[in-house]
Structure 1
Amino acid sequence: MKIKEIVVVEGKDDTIAIQRAVNADTIETNGSAVNRETIEKIKLAQKIRGVIVFTDPDMPGERIRKIIAQHVQNCKHAFITKNKARPKNGKGIGVEHASDTDIREALKDAQIMEVEAEEQITKEDLMNAGLIGGDRAKPRREKLGEKLKIGYTNGKQLYKRLLMFQITKEQFYHALEEVLQEEME
Structure 2
Amino acid sequence: MYLHRIIAATLATSVIAQTQDAPEVTSSPSDHVYEAILPENPFFDKGSLDGNIRGTVKAQSAADGKGVSFSVSFRNLPNEGGPFLYHIHDAAVPSDGNCTATLDHFDPFNRGESPPCDANEPHTCQLGDLSGKHGKITQEPFTKEYIDPFVSLATDSVQFFGTKSIVLHFGNKTRITCANFVKAGVEETGN
**Higher strand proportion (structure 1 or 2):** 2
Structure number with larger C-alpha Rg: 2
Q: Give yes or no for TM over 0.5.
A: no
> TM-score normalised by the shorter chain: which range applies?
under 0.3
Given the two structures, how large is their TM-score scaled by the length of structure 2? 0.24
**Higher helix proportion (structure 1 or 2):** 1
